[in-house]
Structure 1
């Protein structure tokens, strides 16, 4: 097993992660303080403000892609191939930074709900504190929210964690099952390419259109494929790298500021 040099970071990944964080924070801030009613409206075009205010959702999917890239790159660096992934070590490393924080958050939100704190109490008829806690810990909060209505904001943001962790649970098992065959990459390609079909088929359901599990897993699968491609294509020519970077930038700008036109 090859040791992993944790001092080496990918500045491109760090940049994309930082961009995603900024867009998500702006999105949630703009829910309470709309950008169109701020001083920015006097200086920035409406289309740019729309992208900044509403595209935190797309930024979450950028997070999914980054997650898929990282959870694939790390086992490849340690083991050389996904078919040799250490399942126990994978789960241990994945759970260590997430489970304690998740338990603390659920405990805090539950205490606020029991205290009937404003904006922290379930308001939809089908929602209960027990059901919400179970869905958060059982990693199906996105399904629960779709079936019962919007949850208080502190709970609702956990929808993305549910999708991501379900993928994490399945990923090493799929690698062991398909890693030694030629089926892994085609399966990932089919999953990644399913996004347009999924979006077109569920546009009538506002919550599920944003938080459905298959769509999120498709984004993570895209990141997995990117990591596998980088593994085989480790030293592209400078001109190829520049064109790839330009294409990626154009793609991100199109998704963030012309997403509605892309999906029509």
Structure 2
């Protein structure tokens, strides 16, 4: 029995979906562009003479929407992994589930908080918590207690490297209750209706929050609605396999919807108001289902020329946590060099390269070794560590692949 389970886990760990990882890569690139654009807007650069202003604006101001794409992907992958690992959500092993989430999230998070605390205490510019009502101990408590989003809603924005943790508070709060809900409700007929209600509540949840800009962006319910959308997608993918042509058509529908939101969200807002976010989450879900179903029908070769984007997707968590170090450093270098807005766009490419390199270094030296070690110890099963070793060997044989369900 143990050998059979091991074989199943190794097979699942080795399966990779380049389409899903490219979507993750697009999302994290948009987040980085957003944080660069706040400080070096493309619309004020020399690119405005050759590219439409609306396009430059959309490149810079889709970071918030990109995080919601991440939420949907997270729900889809983590619920899908649970279904493959335990057969059904009713059979989920809560202890193992929490151990895997802890091993994936906590090592990088703790190191980040230690580094940020040291920089704050040393008084390094861009890293000092200085707003009235905010303090280092309280910021640490909010980050570790999964309510940094609520803390910012009450006291204002924290420095950039702290601020990115708001989405982690929402995501991990959801996953604290997820296995308990699965074990309590057990049957899909009982689990699906509340997930559907939660997923569809997104526009109304946002509409009820207008008036507090920060809380509108970072409240729990809208983010959890996006995660629930992904969970529903995983449940659908587990019981349904449409023809390849249907999957492709669904992918085109998702691409059209996602493109409409990212390229002209203002127009959608004019007609749909907060409903445009539902277009975003459902379009992302369509793309995820297309990627999953097409890979089930047979191997789908990754698009040439997008390997870099898939590589970004594979490192999305590490890049997300660390990219603000690069953003602050590059912006300071830009201002020291000339600070001319016309040349701001020239700093984007080196910033992207440095973000990836920093994320790769963190993944190789910290994230993967700690995750493997913690999973083996927390689950108390040496054979799981062996499964991770087999996964790493398979990854090295497949350098062009960029998605592993075991990494979420």
Are 1:39 and 2:46 matched, yes or no? yes
- Please state how far the C-alpha of 1:181 moved relative to its aligned partner: 5.5
Are 1:237 and 2:243 matched, yes or no? yes
Cα deviations across residues 176-213 of structure 1 (Å, max 9, x unaligned)?
Answer: 11122622101000000011101111121110111111
Are 1:256 and 2:291 matched, yes or no? no
**Partners of 2:235 and 2:47 in 1: CA distance:** 41
Partner residue, 1:151: 158
**Radius of gyration: which is bigger?**
2
Partner residue, 2:83: 76
Note the 1:1-264 alignment, pairs <5 A: 2=5, 3-4=8-9, 5=11, 6-180=13-187, 182-234=189-241, 236-263=242-269, 264=273
Q: Structure 1 regions of 5+ residues with no counterpart?
A: none
Partner residue, 2:388: none
Cα deviations across residues 84-129 of structure 1 (Å, max 9, x unaligned)?
Answer: 0011111111111211111111111111111121121122111111
**Partners of 1:40 and 1:143 in 2: CA distance:** 38
**Partners of 2:187 and 2:167 in 1: CA distance:** 30
Secondary structure at 2:14 match in 1: coil
**Partners of 1:26 and 1:68 in 2: CA distance:** 24
The aligned length equals 263
- Please state how far the C-alpha of 1:258 moved relative to its aligned partner: 2.4
Secondary structure at 1:151 match in 2: coil
Between Structure 1 and Structure 2, the one with more helix by share is 2
Secondary structure at 1:228 match in 2: helix
Note the aligned Cα RMSD (angstroms): 1.3
- Please state how far the C-alpha of 1:257 moved relative to its aligned partner: 2.1
Q: Structure 2 regions of 5+ residues with no counterpart?
A: 274-408
- Please state how far the C-alpha of 1:248 moved relative to its aligned partner: 0.3
**Partners of 1:209 and 1:261 in 2: CA distance:** 20
**Partners of 2:160 and 2:19 in 1: CA distance:** 31
**Partners of 1:21 and 1:106 in 2: CA distance:** 21
**Partners of 1:188 and 1:168 in 2: CA distance:** 13
> What's the TM-score, normalizing by structure 1?
0.96
Q: Which protein, 1 or 2, shows the higher relative CO under an 8 Å CA cutoff with sep ≥ 6?
A: 2
**Partners of 1:57 and 1:90 in 2: CA distance:** 28
- Please state how far the C-alpha of 1:242 moved relative to its aligned partner: 1.9
Tell me, yes or no, if the aligned pair for 1:50 and 1:257 is still in contact at 8 Å. no
